[in-house]
Amino acid sequence: MKKMTYGEAIREGMSIRMRENKNVLLFGEDVGAFGGCFGVSAGMYEEFGEERVRDTPISEGVIIGCAVGAAATGLRPIAELMFIDFLTVGMDQLVNQAAKMRYMFGGHISMPMVVRLPAGAGVSAAAQHSQSLEAWVTHVPGLKVVYPSTPQDALGLMLTAIDDNDPVMFIEHKAMYAMKGEVTELKPIPLGKGDIKRSGEDVTIIATGKMVHEALAASKNLEKEGISCEVLDPRSLYPLDKALIKASLIKTHKAVVITEEVKRGGYGGEISAMISEEYFDLLDAPVVRIGALNTPIPFAINLEQYALPNAQDIIHAVKQLV
């Protein structure tokens, strides 16, 4: 057992697989000697060399296109985009090539590529560097999507993502890179397996990414008032662990879904709809959905915090249900 930061855990997961398999490589803007915009790849250039830890031009279309070509010809690339916001520039290669090539080639080709996507707000990076766009990538058939909330999950899901033969979108919340946590196992975490971060009996709070920690804070506060909350972290957005959600609802019969993304059209709505369609008979009340305000993320700290969901929003929602 050891403690490491969220960023260190991501690096450890990449490094483990790169030591084991020479076909695994990392590339992106400033991931080499600089160590990555957020320091996640620090030391990897020195260990693996410039052939396997490569700096790229400032062109996300090139980065994703390179990953597609590398994966199609037998490598296992890890492509880092400095911010998930810049996925907009590489969307054609991702949506129309990476996501569809296995299907369109009748299963005769694999796409073992990982796209690292630093996402989320809370660091005053303003409107073009603070978005949560998980709904975009979960909407596309052919892409798998993970969103770890702890160092342990980050390491285990990175190992799995690199091993997978389909494109995996690896969403990382940049405000959590320095967050420390215990890492007890150096082994893969299967896609489609969620995790109960806190057991409870009265309400199921389904949260993703940094919102898992807001949910835990809210649950601790609500416990003082005699309200027992179960915090469920899907970890894998697609495939989604529906069985775990169902098992939790059998206990609590109430659900709050919180994601940091803009509420309108967000993936939280997909989870809410799935619960309402498939587990309606388990519910004692409508599903409550929490997300960011329908606005670009402001630069000013006070306005940014106002726009984002937080523990107080969860507390208010839970009290409405219970």
The single residue listed with the structure tokens 């306005």 is 303
Displacement of CA 79 from its chain's centroid (Å): 15
**Element containing residue 114 per DSSP (H, E):** strand 114-119
With beta carbons less than 8 A apart as the criterion, state whether 160 and 190 touch.
yes
Phi-psi region of 43 (alpha: psi -120 to 50; beta: other; left: phi over 0): left
Instruction: Tell me if residue 32 falls in helix, strand or coil.
Output: coil
Query: Residues 98, 142: contact at Cβ < 8 Å?
Result: yes
Give the helix/strand (H/E) hosting 267: helix 267-278
Sign of CA dihedral 307, 213, 177, 28: negative
The C-alpha atoms of residue 269 and residue 291 are separated, in whole angstroms, by 10
- Rounded alpha-carbon distances, angstroms, from residue 293 to 106, 110, 234, 263, 299: 42, 39, 23, 7, 14
129 catalytic? Reply is yes
Residues 47 and 22: beta-carbon distance below 8 Å: no
Region of residue 217 (left: phi > 0; alpha: psi -120 to 50; beta: else): alpha
Q: Point out the catalytic residue in the list 129, 173, 213, 253.
A: 129
Residue 308's identity, in one-letter code, is: L
Q: Coil, strand or helix: which one is 248?
A: helix
CB-based burial of residue 294 (10 Å sphere; 0-12 exposed, 13-18 middle, 19+ buried)? exposed
CA distance 38 to 168: 21
Residues belonging to the active site: 129
